[in-house]
Amino acid sequence: MSATTLERTGARTGSGPAGPRAGGMHARLRRRQALVAWGFCLPFVAVFAVFMLMPIVGSFAMSFTDFTARDIASPFSVNFVWLDQFVALFTDERFLTSLAVTGVFVLVGIPVTMVVALALALALNSGRGRLVAFFRVGFYAPVVTSIVAVAVVWRYILQPDGLLNSALAVVGIDGPNWLNDPAFALPSLIMLAVWRNVGTLMVIFLAGLQAVPEDVSEAATMDGASAWRRLVSVTLPLLRPTILLGAVLISVGYLQFFEEAFVMTKGGPLDSTLSVAFYTYQQFGFGEYGLASAASYVLFLAIALLSLLQFRLLRSKD
Amino acid sequence: MSTSPLASASTRAPRPPASRAPGRRRRGLGPRALTYTVLAVGLVLWLIPFVWMILGSVKTQGEILQKPPTWWPENPTGENFAQWFGPLGIGHFFVNSLVVAVITVLGNMVFCSMVGYALAKMQFPGKRVLFTLVMITLMVPGVVTFVPLFVMVSKLGLVNTYPALILPFLTAPIGVFLMRQFIQGIPDALLEAARLDGAGEWRIFARIVMPLCGPPLATLGILTFLSSWNNFLWPLVAAQGEDMYTLPVALSLYSTGQNATNYGLLLAGSVLVIAPIILLFVFLQRWFIRGVATTGLK
C-alpha cells in the first residue's frame, strides 16, 4: 500500500520539467506533506499515547514491581522485583484455577457459539426479504443489550424456583440451583455468553455466505450431491476464511471473560467461575497492582499468541 | 437442523428440479416451512429473557416471590418504574450515560477520520509505525490498561469526573481502521483535482473527504455509542460517587446488597437501561448489522 503512495507522490513531484531542481523540491514537498499529515494525526495521537499506550507500557512495567495501592501517593517506594510477581501468580492456586476456568469457558463456549451461529446463518441465507430481516434482528438483539441489565433477568430466570426450573419441572426434570452449584455455575455463564454472542457471528457468517457463489452449489446439486454433502464439501470449505475470522474474534472476546462472572456470580461459588480477568480485577481491588498487571499480561500474551496462530492458519489455507 | 436450510436453499434455484410439478407456486414449501418453523420456535425461546424482563417489571414484589412464578402479571403495577423515576433518580444516570456516549461518539468521529485520512492518502515518516501500534491495541484486553489508567487518573485528580469516563475511549482503534479503509477507496483523481485548484489538505478533508464519509461515520458512530452505553468495567472503577454513575453502574450497584432480590425493581431498571438502545437498534438495524459485518466487532 505505502509503496504505491510513494510512487504516486514520486511521480507527481518528479514529473516537473526542471530536472536538477526536482530533488530539492521533492524533499521540500515531502517535508511539508509530512508536517500536514502529522497535523491531522496530532489530536488522536496525543490522546492515544496518554490513555492507551502509556497504560499498556505502564502495566508491563508494573508487572515487574511491587506496586500497591498505597504507592499511588509515593511512587518512589516502589521496588523492582524482577519476575517475582509472575512466580507469585503461578504458585497461587486461585490463579491456576482461573486459568482452568477461562480455558473451559473458551474451549466449550467457542464451538457451541460457532455451531449455533453457523446453523442460524445457513438457515437465514436460504431466504430473502422481510421475514429473514425480522429473524436476523431478533437473534441479533441480545448483542446490543447491556450485560448488567440482562444479568438481572438471567439471574431471575436461573433462580432455584425460577422460570427455567419451573419449565423443567413441567417435563419432570428437577433442575439444579444453577448459579449456586459449582458444577452448574460455569455452564450457566457459558449459556449466557452464547446467547449474547451468537448474533455477532451469525451476521459475519451471513456476510461470508453471501459471497459464496451460488453456481458452485448448484453444480454440486446437478451432480447429485446431497444437502449434507454440499454443506461439508462445498459451502464450508469456501467459508473457511470467514469461519476463522469469526473464531479469532470470538476467542479474543471469550478469553477476556469477565463481565458475565462479575454480574452473575462474583466469581463463585467456590471460585468455579473465577476467570483470569476476574482474578486481575480482584487483585486490583485488593490493591495488589503489580500482581494484577502481571496477571493481565499473561492474558494479553495468551490472546496475542492465539491471534497469531489463527492468522497464520488463515493465511496458509487461503 | 443443518440439512433443512440447505434443502430449502436448493429451492431457490431458478429452475426447480424435474421431479417437482412445473408451474407450482408453492415450490418447496415443505422444507422451507420447516426451516421457518424451527427458526420461529428458536426465536421465541431466544427472546424469552426480554419478555420475562418486561413482564416482571410490572409485577408486585409479592407476585415476584410467588412459587411457581406466574406468567402474566396478575395486578400490573407501575410502582417499580415510579421508584426509578422518583427516589432513585434514574434521570441523572441517564444524562450521565448520554453525555459520555455522545462526546465519545463525536470525538471518535473527528479524531479517527482525521487520522484515517492521513493514513490513507498521505505519505509521512512514522506512518507504518502508527498504524501498526493502533492495530496492535485492538488485541489488548481491557484489564491490561485499567490498572495504570486508574493510577494515572487518580494522579491527575480526575477520578469521578466526565473526562475520566470519556478520555480513555476517545481513540477507538477500530475507528481508525474503518475510516482508513473507506478513505483509501476515494479516488485520488478527485483529491488531485482539488489540489490543482489550489485547495489545501484541510480544505480537501473538510469539503471533499468528509462529505463522502457518511457510511463509515454512521457505522463508527453506532458502534461507539453502543459500546459506550453498555460500557461497565471502567465506569465502575472511575465513577466513585452517585453523581457520576452511568446507567449500568447504577443498576449493578442497586442489584447488590439489600436490593439483590427485589427483582421487580431491578427488572424495571433493566428495561429502562435496555429500552433506548433497543429502540435505536430497531430503527437503525441495517447500520448496526452492516457495522458488524464490515468490522467484525460489536
Structural domain boundaries of chain A? 2-62, 85-317
pLDDT of residue B295: 63
Inter-chain CB proximity A300 and B140 less than 8 Å: yes
Q: Which of residues 144-173 of B touch A (CB under 8 A)?
A: 144-152, 154-155, 167-168, 170-171
Residue closest to A59 by CA, chosen among A294, A288, A235? A294
pLDDT of res. B62:
79
Give the best residue of B46, B119, B147, B191 to mutate against chain A (max A CB count within 10 A): B147
CA angle A196, A198, A204 (to 5 degrees): 130
> Is there a contact between A150 and B270 if contact means CB atoms under 8 Å apart?
yes
Report pLDDT for A18. 43
Domains of chain B: 86-295 (1.10.3720.10)
**Residue of chain A whose alpha carbon sits nearest to that of B180:** A1
Tell me which long-range contacts B247-251 makes (C-beta under 8 A, separation of at least 24): B247/A146, B247/B90, B247/B93, B247/B94, B247/B96, B247/B97, B247/B272, B247/B273, B248/A146, B248/A147, B248/A148, B248/A149, B248/B97, B248/B273, B249/A148, B249/B93, B250/B88, B250/B90, B250/B93, B251/A146, B251/A148, B251/A149, B251/A152
* Cα of B177 to nearest chain A Cα, Å: 13
Interchain CB distance below 8 Å, A36 and B285 = no
B267 closest CB neighbour out of A52, A144, A153:
A153
Report pLDDT for B20: 42
**Is the minimum CB–CB distance between B52 and chain A shorter than 8 Å?**
yes
CB A175 within 8 A of CB A164: yes
Q: Taking a contact as any Cβ pair under 8 Å apart, which residues of chain A between 10 and 39 contact chain B? A: 12, 30, 33-34, 36-38
Contact call for A144 and B281, based on CB within 8 A: yes
Cβ contact A59–B273 (<8 Å): no
Do A184 and B298 meet the contact criterion of CB atoms below 8 Å apart?
A: no
C-alpha distances in angstroms, B244 versus B100, B162, B168, B227, B241? 10, 7, 16, 18, 6
Q: CB-based contact (8 Å) between B124 and chain A?
A: yes
Residues of B in contact with A36 (CB under 8 A): 122, 200-202
- pLDDT value of position B11: 37
**Tell me, what's the pLDDT at A190?**
94
pLDDT lower than 50: segments of chain B: 1-27, 298
- A244: which 3 cell numbers? 476463522
Q: Is A1 on the interface with B (CB under 8 A)?
A: yes
What distance in Å separates residue A122's CA from the closest CA in chain B? Answer: 6
Q: What is the pLDDT of residue B286?
A: 77
* Inter-chain touch A2–B124, beta carbons under 8 Å: no
Q: Give average pLDDT by consecutive 10-residue segment, chain A, 318 residues.
A: 40 42 72 88 92 90 84 76 86 92 93 93 80 87 90 89 85 85 91 93 87 77 78 82 84 87 86 90 88 92 84 63
Q: At what angle do helices A289-317 and B142-155 cross, to 10 degrees?
A: 140
Give A-chain residues touching B53 at CB under 8 angstroms.
149-150, 152-153
Please answer yes or no on whether A47 and B167 come within 8 Å at the CB atom: yes
> Which residue in the set B52, B115, B288 is minimally distant from A163, CB to CB?
B52
Q: Which of residues 193-232 of A touch B (CB under 8 A)?
A: 195, 199-200, 203-204, 206-207, 217-218, 221, 227-228, 230-231
Dihedral sign, Cα of residue B63, residue B65, residue B70, residue B73: positive
ipTM of the predicted assembly exceeds 0.85:
no
Does CATH number 1.10.3720.10 belong to domain A85-317? Answer: yes
Whether A243 and chain B come into contact, CB under 8 Å, resolves to: no
pLDDT computed for residue B32 by the predictor: 75
pLDDT of residue A16: 40
Phi-psi map region of B122: left, alpha, beta (phi>0 left; psi -120 to 50 alpha): beta
